[in-house]
Amino acid sequence: MMRELEQQVLQEEGHDASENVTMYISDDRLHISQHRGRYNAPKINEIAMVFKSSCGIPPNNRDIWIYPRQRELSRISTLNPNYDPMTYVLFCPCGERGFHINQSYSELQFYVHCLSVRRDIFNPILYGGNLMQQYVVDSYVKVEGNRLNFIRHNQRALRVESYLGLADHINTLATEAGVRPGITLILLSSFIGSPREMQQNFQAAMSIVRDFGKPDLFLTFTCNPKWDEIKQNLFPGQKQHYRPDLIARVFDIKKKALLQDLKKNCILGRIVADIHVIEFQKRGLSHMHLLWILADEDKIRDPESIDRIVSAELPDEALDSRLHEIVKATMIHGPCGELNPYSPCMADGICTNGYPKKFREATAENVDGYPMYRRRDNANHVTTNGTFVDNRWIVPYSPYLTKKYNAHINVEICSSIKSIKYIFKYVYKGHDCAKVVFENNGQGSITWDEIKTFLDARYVSAPEAMWRLLEKNARKISCYHSFTSAFAGHAAGVFL
């Protein structure tokens, strides 16, 4: 994929495609309006696919060519049953046929079957290491590419003409330009991750705010690869990042347990509405953003209420040694700044998250932003990676949740933030993207810096691909009382 992109860009710029070119992913955003979290460079070494497509559909073809007897060279389709045995010889040593059409099961079901663990049956794919990660990413992109291809060629059956405003807009543009309207291709809101789906979710979230008020708490829950459930199910000598299937399944179980604690057990108060989104952001592990609105009787109204829910200090080791060890392992930011100027959070010599924070003897509410949590200058400190760390470096957390789930769970009080749209746009910022730069032997650079449509510069890692193949929920909006829907006209096709 990347080689094709490199060749294409070089030819468009009039350069010799045979020249020696260095390619890397830049950390710069394409435009100031684009979210930094979407275009950040990968923070770990991982197998991923970055691809470009002018029409927004992943390429269905790969560079798999065959030499049939007495015939010319030909390229095989991703739907050809010989694609997998020719590409992944180690996984198909006997030439086992891959997926092909005219089967009673879907392409997605076929690849989930291939990635399953079965008692007393050796599955070479699960021992593939980096090759397994490539297989997972390749399989997911093939599945998604064929889904999008179906949408592209079945626009009439999907009734895209019902998108009323879009047809009028296109006719107006064509009239002004003096040309005939062309073919209109719609990427439906039912396709997970499409711009229309993200915009629809954002509007639904804002309608909940209109009925229930602003969110009270903002939680980020990150998968911990050191969970016992992951380590105990690895094969001998295997590392966690070689098993995206295992990580996805365990994180989904933990996520459901956490939501059960919050929504049904009401450990932080009764919830009337909540929104959660699963993200990956080129960090190798999935994490969940969760926003929820509390019932009026459980609203957080003063610093004392904040301190009962959130802590931004190291726990006393003598009082709770287990919580102390978990916070030390999962809730320390960086360090960054002068201690580590190359930390991923650094921009122009400053930590983008504002660390280290200032010492504070008491929690104070903020007029427009997160509260200024209590961070006392006391004897509680630790040394991690040779660096002295005190309360100024602690990420706000819930002691109960952190201790129970042994993971990075950042809990923030967000009821005082005025720009509530910023929070929802952060949650619904969309899929991971990449800005690819090509350097030609130090003679300047050729930069591809435009992302025009969905998937045009999408970055897909193995954890994300596995999550999608397993059909795990990527986002969900829940409310526990009736509210006025912002989409009353959607059935009539009014919304784009």
Region 389-409: mean pLDDT is 96
Cα separation, 156 vs 185, whole angstroms: 10
Residue 305 CA from chain centroid, whole number? 32
Cα separation, 220 vs 461, whole angstroms: 20
Burial of 141 (C-beta count, 10 Å sphere; 0-12/13-18/19+): buried
Cα separation, 496 vs 494, whole angstroms: 7
Cα separation, 98 vs 62, whole angstroms: 15
Region 268-280: mean pLDDT is 90
Measured N-to-C along each axis, helices 195-212 and 420-427 cross at an angle, to the nearest 10 degrees, of 140
Region 401-420: mean pLDDT is 85
Region 170-189: mean pLDDT is 63
Beta bridge partners of 436: 25, 448
**pLDDT value for 27:** 60
Q: How many CA atoms lie within 13 A of 455 on its CB side?
A: 18
Q: Residue 152: pLDDT band by 50, 70, 90 thresholds?
A: confident
Q: Which residue has the higher pLDDT, 186 or 73?
A: 73
Asked if the model's pLDDT at residue 143 lies above 80, the reply is yes
Asked if the model's pLDDT at residue 420 lies above 80, the reply is no
0.75 exceeded by the pTM? yes
With pLDDT > 90 as the criterion, what percentage of the chain qualifies?
40
Asked if the model's pLDDT at residue 373 lies above 90, the reply is yes
pLDDT in tens, 280-333: 866 668 889 998 999 999 999 899 999 999 999 999 999 999 999 999 999 999
Q: Residue 43: pLDDT band by 50, 70, 90 thresholds?
A: low
Report the chain's C-alpha Rg in angstroms: 25
Sign for the CA dihedral angle at 173, 176, 177, 183 comes to positive
pLDDT in tens, 92-110: 999 899 998 888 999 999 9
Q: Residue 26: pLDDT band by 50, 70, 90 thresholds?
A: low
Q: Which residue has the higher pLDDT, 207 or 482?
A: 207
Nearest to 428 by CA among 479, 484, 475: 475
Scan for tokens 């999550």, then name that residue.
467
